[in-house]
Amino acid sequence: MVDRLITSVPPPNAPGIYGIISSAGPMVGPSGVGIVAIVGKASFGPLGTAVQLGSPAAVQSTYGAASAVDRTDTTSTMANLAREAAMGGAIGYVCARVGGTGAAPAALLGGLMDDASSVVGNLTASYPGVFGNQLFAQVRMVPGTTTQKELVIYQGTVIVQDNRFATGAGVTDEAALLAAATVGAPYAVFTKTSVGSGKLGTLAKAPFTGGLDPSSVAASDYSNAFALLSTYPWATLCTDSENTAVFSAIQSYVDTETLWGRFRTGCVAEPTSIPIATRYSDAANLNAALIRYQGTGFTFPNGDGTFRADEGYLASAVEAGILSTLTPGQSMTWRVIPGATGLVVGNPAYDEPTAITNGMGYFKYSSTLGIRTGAGISTLVDWGRTPVWATQLNSGWRYLQHVATAFGLIEDIGDTWEGMVANPNPSLRPPNTPAGRAALVAAANGIAKQYTDNNWIQGGDVIVDPTHPSVGNTAYFTFENLVVALSAERLVLALPFGTP
């Protein structure tokens, strides 16, 4: 791995592998290809922590069903984000629920009582949100035994949690046993307040009440959620926000992550109800090589005979799935959206050259491919404005294929070098001598040759940097003649038909 990108030398004092991004140089790759970080609102699920999950079903189980299959209700969106990202190719998720203010967990009104009708503790939903109001609790003897009781939690009529604890003549504090049994439980947790008689009373099925979702969510709440993601492997971030203030927060976060060696990309989108001129402007204002902006959408069947418009945050999640899977040599241009049935472009529709000039992604129709992505570009339109993680960029960085290839190149070299300098046998670690540096150069050029052989780069060789002499434990290397190979995507065929 590469420990950090730097914009000047010497590097930090700590041992490590450092990268410098210049106009022709590569960039570090993300760990976690195919993993999408999703940040959104939910009516249940953990707050203040990130959760790794492996499927849309697991996301829905953890955070509850979406409040609407489309964008008509965005109270709870995590399940939608996961579903859409999977359509784009995501294979896993790192999830963070947005907080905000005013959230409260549902609870059993009056608490749990002992067999003398004295309250001995409180039973609350595991997480804040209105989903908890769908829960019911029951305390009963376990059928067929006289030595066990159980707390049964229902969502409607479906049992979702069952915690058993001992009862009988020798048990003197059933409340403590139930509290221990529900530690970390997924739907409801019991907190003991007193011993009481030592025996819990039976409880007929009783509802939870009082669960509240956050009453307001600000851009800063998204930034707080982003901070929870940093220690996890993922490639691309998307959210349920269509607020440009959150877009800027995403850009800042992704840039900072990249600066510190955690190498990411992000996807954002606005719906077609936003005027097309505003969408052009909002895309161009981001001006970021690592951010994809989508300004259109597509229609997609819901499976019940109805169709939804996948635009706005839904479209950004689809594209996050696609972008998260890009590997060296792969382009985001002409990526098919299987199952999509039509375009959502707004009125007036976008103009393709103007969209590209402004860094706005778009979908288009092909008679052979169906609904597909258009130009595989980021929002970078002014490469003279350098991000914090680079000394200089060129126009190639606006193509996401360039980013993916450059990501992979330096990551692969970094991984190879790390294996050499951290060899478990210290005697095999390359010394900072001409011979040691030559071994590092040879290993790096082995990776570069693989990229050349696969037509991911046109050429390039790693050499010892002649402008920065190696000293102490610091050695400098650079690429010369490094050129990323882009796919042939703008094809011109002249047809000089003659006169018969």
Cis status of the peptide bond prior to 10, with omega within 30 of 0: yes
Of 153, 154, 155, 133, which is closest to residue 209 (Cα–Cα)? 133
Please count the structural domains in the chain: 2
pLDDT at 26: 41
Provide DSSP, 402-446. Answer: HHHHHHHHHHHHHHHHHHHHT-SSGGGSPPSSHHHHHHHHHHHHH
What's the CATH number where 72 sits? 3.40.50.11780
Of 247, 255, 238, 398, which is closest to residue 322 (Cα–Cα)? 238
- Assign 159 to helix, strand or coil: strand
Looking at the fold, whether 88 and 138 belong to one and the same domain comes out as: no
Looking at the fold, whether 194 and 290 belong to one and the same domain comes out as: no
Q: What percent of the chain is predicted at pLDDT more than 90?
A: 85
Could you report the per-residue pLDDT of 458-499, keeping only the tens digit for each?
999 999 999 999 999 999 999 999 999 999 988 888 888 887
Of 17, 39, 28, 33, which is closest to residue 387 (Cα–Cα)? 28
Could you report the per-residue pLDDT of 224-253, keeping only the tens digit for each?
999 999 999 999 999 999 999 999 999 999
Of 137, 160, 159, 103, which is closest to residue 208 (Cα–Cα)? 137
Domain assignment present for 62: yes
- Above 50 in pLDDT, residue 217? yes
Looking at the fold, whether 82 and 162 belong to one and the same domain comes out as: no
- Cα distance between residue 184 and residue 192, in whole Å: 15
pLDDT at 30: 42
Domain assignment present for 90: yes
Q: Are 123 and 117 in contact (CB under 8 A)?
A: no
Q: End of a domain among 156, 190, 209?
A: 209
Looking at the fold, whether 119 and 78 belong to one and the same domain comes out as: no
Looking at the fold, whether 202 and 249 belong to one and the same domain comes out as: no
- Above 60 in pLDDT, residue 427? yes
Q: End of a domain among 323, 341, 373?
A: 373
Looking at the fold, whether 85 and 45 belong to one and the same domain comes out as: yes
- Above 70 in pLDDT, residue 27? no
Residues 6+ apart with CB under 8 A from 387: 255, 258, 288, 289, 290, 393
Residue 310 phi, psi dihedral angles, 5° rounding: -85, 85
Domain assignment present for 39: yes
Q: Are 436 and 464 in contact (CB under 8 A)?
A: no
Q: End of a domain among 158, 182, 209?
A: 209
Chain-centroid distance of CA 119 in Å reads: 44
Q: Are 345 and 270 in contact (CB under 8 A)?
A: no
Could you report the per-residue pLDDT of 378-400, keeping only the tens digit for each?
999 999 999 998 988 999 999 99
Looking at the fold, whether 116 and 171 belong to one and the same domain comes out as: yes
- For the ranges 8-17, 210-219, 264-273, the maximum mean pLDDT occurs at 264-273
Looking at the fold, whether 35 and 156 belong to one and the same domain comes out as: no
Could you report the per-residue pLDDT of 272-306, keeping only the tens digit for each?
999 999 999 999 999 999 999 999 999 999 999 99
Looking at the fold, whether 128 and 55 belong to one and the same domain comes out as: no
**Other beta carbons less than 10 A from residue 23's beta carbon:** 14
CA angle 284–290–292, rounded 5-degree value = 55
Looking at the fold, whether 199 and 319 belong to one and the same domain comes out as: no
Q: Are 167 and 206 in contact (CB under 8 A)?
A: no
pLDDT at 346: 95
Amino acid (1-letter code) at residue 287: N
Chain-centroid distance of CA 77 in Å reads: 14
- Above 80 in pLDDT, residue 28? no
Q: Are 11 and 268 in contact (CB under 8 A)?
A: no
pLDDT at 5: 77
Write out the residue range of the structural domain in which residue 159 sits: 107-209
Could you report the per-residue pLDDT of 105-144, keeping only the tens digit for each?
999 999 999 999 999 999 999 999 999 999 999 999 999 9
Using 50, 70 and 90 to split pLDDT, how confident is the model at 25? very low
Q: Which strands sit side by side in the sheet containing 236-239, from one edge to the other?
A: 50-53, 92-97, 35-40, 236-239, 265-269, 291-294
Mean pLDDT, the chain, whole residue set: 93
Residues 6+ apart with CB under 8 A from 270: 242, 244, 278, 279, 282, 293, 295, 312
Looking at the fold, whether 250 and 355 belong to one and the same domain comes out as: yes
pLDDT at 23: 60
Q: Give 156 or 317, the one with higher predicted confidence.
A: 317
Domain assignment present for 290: yes
- Cα distance between residue 45 and residue 322, in whole Å: 26
Could you report the per-residue pLDDT of 298-350, keeping only the tens digit for each?
999 999 999 999 999 999 999 999 999 999 999 999 999 999 999 999 999 99
Of 378, 404, 396, which is closest to residue 289 (Cα–Cα)? 378
What is the longest distance spanned by two Cα atoms in the chain?
A: 108
Looking at the fold, whether 351 and 322 belong to one and the same domain comes out as: yes
Residue 250 host element (H or E): helix 244-259
Of 93, 99, 158, 163, which is closest to residue 128 (Cα–Cα)? 99
- Cα distance between residue 405 and residue 410, in whole Å: 9
- Cα distance between residue 308 and residue 72, in whole Å: 10
